[in-house]
């Protein structure tokens, strides 16, 4: 077994983990959004300088609304090499792409219709497919665009995640069997407790292989679960968001004061 293959296998088994998360707290969701957008611009420039393209995965929920407005406004907008972006989703709902529930649709309305990311580099769910087939097709898209070696995973430059009040992230929900998935990069979900029920999601090994991961979480509704995940005493009990632990990348939390209320910082 080669050294790098051993590392990948240890990563997949969750046997390696790096550094504590870096927690950034901001007075309001707007200030948080601005700082997160600056972070994205910095990582995008670094990825383009090092590898010629920026591979980013987005999430749904409030994230596009928080982060995209400062990204598409000056001074950030013209600092970005938009044609170098490849956009994917950490999770997507199995609904038509023009449905208001679609995560693509949220990103389209706040980001894509304002900047020049080539349409063929926006890697959407195939909304004609049922969840099983859609997950298989999305995994094939990852293979085609990333072209990882046989022993490697597709490695994102940045995965942007949200977190629900129950500690879910992407479409990885508490106590769900997909949390244990190690054989697939993308999994179907048929029973999401957050509607709509049918989704696809990146699995934990892919998420944890990213170079950088950033959670974006705002609002008092997230204070309790954030205290479990980030507070002292490790009370998170395997909640999905607490299982996001990049193996050799770094982990950031961008949170507002309301969400940070019970962290004692």
Select the residue interacting with ligand 6PG from 194, 243, 248, 261 (CB under 6 A): 194
Question: Could you give the 3-state DSSP secondary structure of residue 57?
Answer: strand
Select the residue interacting with ligand 6PG from 30, 46, 62, 121 (CB under 6 A): 62
- Residues in the interface with ligand 6PG (CB under 6 A) total 15
CB of 112 to ligand 6PG, least distance (A): 17
Select the residue interacting with ligand 6PG from 154, 162, 205, 249 (CB under 6 A): 162
CB of 102 to ligand 6PG, least distance (A): 9
Residue 124 sits in the site that holds ligand 6PG (CB under 6 A)? no
Residue carrying structure tokens 């907008």: 77
| Residue 48, Cβ density class (10 Å: 0-12 exposed, 13-18 middle, ≥19 buried) | middle
Contact call for residues 201 and 128 (beta carbons, < 8 A) = no
Q: Which two tokens stand for residue 67?
A: 């982060």
Residue 170 sits in the site that holds ligand 6PG (CB under 6 A)? yes
Name the segment binding ligand 6PG (CB under 6 A); options: 78-86, 117-125, 157-165, 179-187. Answer: 157-165
Q: Within a 13 Å sphere around the CA of 190, how many CA atoms are in the beta-carbon half?
A: 5
3-state SS record for 219-258: CHHHHHHHHHHHCCCCCCCCCHHHHCCCCCCEEEEEEEHH
Residue 102 sits in the site that holds ligand 6PG (CB under 6 A)? no
Interface contacts to ligand 6PG, rule CB under 6 A: 59-63, 91, 93, 103, 162-164, 168-170, 194
């Amino acid at each position: 077994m080669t050294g790098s293959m051993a590392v990948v296998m240890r990563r997949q088994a969750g046997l390696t983990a790096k550094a504590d998360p870096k927690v950034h707290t901001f007075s309001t969701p707007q200030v948080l959004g601005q700082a997160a957008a600056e972070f994205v611009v910095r990582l995008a420039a670094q990825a383009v300088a090092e590898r010629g393209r920026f591979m980013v995965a987005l999430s749904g929920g409030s994230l596009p609304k928080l982060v995209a407005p400062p990204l598409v406004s000056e001074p950030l907008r013209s600092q970005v090499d938009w044609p170098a972006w490849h956009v994917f989703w950490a999770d997507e709902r199995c609904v038509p792409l023009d449905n208001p529930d679609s995560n693509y649709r949220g990103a389209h309305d706040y980001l894509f219709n304002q900047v020049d990311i080539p349409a063929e580099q926006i890697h959407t769910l195939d909304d004609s497919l049922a969840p099983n087939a859609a997950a298989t097709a999305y995994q094939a898209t990852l293979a085609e665009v990333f072209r990882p070696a046989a022993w490697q995973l597709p490695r994102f430059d940045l995965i942007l995640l949200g977190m629900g009040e129950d500690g879910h992230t992407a479409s990885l929900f508490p106590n769900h069997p997909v949390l244990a998935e190690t054989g697939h990069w993308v999994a179907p979900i048929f029973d999401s407790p957050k509607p709509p029920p049918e989704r696809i999601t990146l699995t934990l090994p892919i998420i944890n292989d990213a170079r950088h991961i950033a959670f974006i979480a705002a609002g008092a509704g997230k204070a309790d679960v954030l205290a479990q995940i980030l507070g002292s005493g490790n009370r998170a009990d395997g909640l999905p968001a607490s299982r996001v632990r990049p193996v050799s990348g770094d982990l950031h939390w961008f949170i507002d004061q309301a969400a940070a209320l019970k962290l004692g910082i």
